[in-house]
Amino acid sequence: MSYLLDANALIALAWPAHEHHATMLRWFERHATSGWSSNALTQGAFVRVVSQPSFAGRSLAIADVAEALLRNVAHPKHRFLALDFGFAEVLGLCSGGLLGHRQITDAWLVACAVRHGVQLATFDTGIEQLLATPAERQKHIVVLGR
């Protein structure tokens, strides 16, 4: 099984000071050989979050943050997943339905994982409710740190 890392997992992997870095690194060492991926949403979120002065405790240049991202996605088992589908497909693939505005990005990530036949790797247990059945959740989502 290959994995799509959500933004928090991608940040935790690349950022040693992140609270979940050790957990993510152990998980990645066991699973990276199966393949892992990112997409435009997770890469953009990485740059947005890591470049915030409140995240690193100091201001980081976008170019430096982008370089860190590009170093990570240069991993030989990484692939970039296209988000080449519309919101109607997101709604159709999220069998548990969407209940609120805070689920929109998560729904795109779940739909991307389902569409590309990978598991979404996340620390967010709430994402699971976007899929209606335990079988779907087991097939398409892995909650890290459990």
**Could you read off the pLDDT of 95-110 as tens digits, one per residue?**
999 999 999 999 999 9
For residue 44, what is the domain's CATH number? 3.40.50.1010
Domain of residue 110: give its range.
3-143
Residue 20 near residue 12, CB atoms below 8 Å: yes
pLDDT surpasses 90 at 27: yes
Global confidence as pTM: 0.94
pLDDT surpasses 90 at 1: no
Sequence-separated (6 or more) residues with CB below 8 Å from residue 136 = 95
Instruction: Give the distance between the most distant pair of CA atoms in the chain.
Output: 43
Pull the structure tokens for residue 100: 């609120």
Q: What total number of domains does the chain contain? A: 1
pLDDT surpasses 90 at 59: no
Q: Which helix (H) or strand (E) holds 141?
A: strand 141-143
In single-letter form, the type of residue at position 49 comes to V
pLDDT at 145: 86
